[in-house]
Amino acid sequence: MSTYFIMKFFERTPIWYDRAIRWITFGKMADIRRSARSYFHPGQLVLDLGCGTGEWSLLAASQGAHVKASDTSPLMLQRAYSKACAASYGKHIHFAEQSLMELDNEPDKQYDVVITSLVLSECRKDEQAYALPHIARVLKPGGLWILVDEITPQDGVLALCIRCFRNTVLFFLRWMGVAVTHPLRICPADLEKLGFRIKHWQRLNAGTFLFCVAQKEAQ
């Protein structure tokens, strides 16, 4: 959550955003993207929700996928667009200024891969609850959901310490009227209830950061 303000600052100055993410995550986001490269293939249709400066979209397009990259921030989209223009495969990315809350406009079983990276935690709990079933709905049977985000830590002493620290900071931030992130409160069973099979579930940064790849059951 302390990263939220830093992140929000850099979302308003997107030219610095990629560098900031590299520093904040000690290069972990780049490592995660590298390890996810094999999930993208030529001809796939990919939806990158909250695409930001487009790093995931560019990765998917570099592997031959066709990407719809959506975000609510014109500044972030502009940055992503200029990066796409500079890459030979950038023409395979279609950008849309669109909210995750407009997912009901997407047809059923449309995409081979949906990416949500650091965006769901910027949404309120009710928005997360809205988005998750839609992500399942818009994926083709056998399609993949790549989910990278903040997550509430598991039980244990470390988790308790992190929760106490977080709740104290949150209390003061809310008191000051400042918006905060909403780390996901999900476990593999929740995704299974939505019709997913977990292919990869990895907690990083003392269990507060999730890299998950879930596959929609083939019907």
Ligand X SMILES: C[S@@+](CC[C@H](N)C(=O)[O-])C[C@H]1O[C@@H](n2cnc3c(N)ncnc32)[C@H](O)[C@@H]1O
By CB under 6 A, the count of residues binding ligand X is 20
Among 63, 82, 99, 152, binds ligand X (CB under 6 A): 99
User: Helical H runs in 152-208?
Assistant: 157-175, 188-193
* Residue (100 or 184) nearer to ligand X, CB: 100
Question: In sequence order, what are the beta bridge partners of 209?
Answer: 150, 204
Give the long-range contacts of residues 41-45, CB within 8 A, separation 24 or more: 41/65, 41/112, 44/112, 44/113, 45/110, 45/111, 45/112, 45/113
Binding range to ligand X, per CB under 6 A, among 85-93, 113-121, 134-142, 151-159: 113-121
Among 32, 50, 59, 214, binds ligand X (CB under 6 A): 50
Least Cα distance to 142 among 60, 219, 63, 44 occurs for 219
Among 101, 129, 164, 187, binds ligand X (CB under 6 A): 101
Tell me: does residue 76 bind ligand X (CB under 6 A).
Answer: yes
* Residue (196 or 209) nearer to ligand X, CB: 209
Contact 86, 38 (CB under 8 A): no
* Residue (21 or 132) nearer to ligand X, CB: 21
**Hey, what are 20's tokens?**
């900031």
Per DSSP, the three-state class of 142 is strand
* Residue (5 or 201) nearer to ligand X, CB: 5
* Residue (21 or 114) nearer to ligand X, CB: 21
Q: Give dist(CA 188, CA 20) in Å, integer.
A: 30
Query: Whole-number minimum distance, CB 10 to ligand X, in Å?
Result: 8
Q: How far is CA 119 from the centre of its chain?
A: 5
- Largest Cα–Cα distance in the chain? 49
Query: Whole-number minimum distance, CB 217 to ligand X, in Å?
Result: 26
Query: Whole-number minimum distance, CB 73 to ligand X, in Å?
Result: 3
Tell me: does residue 3 bind ligand X (CB under 6 A).
Answer: no
Q: Which positions from 114 through 173 interact with ligand X, judged by CB under 6 A?
A: 117-119, 122-123
Interface positions with ligand X (CB under 6 A) = 7, 11, 21, 50-52, 55-56, 71-73, 76, 99-101, 117-119, 122-123
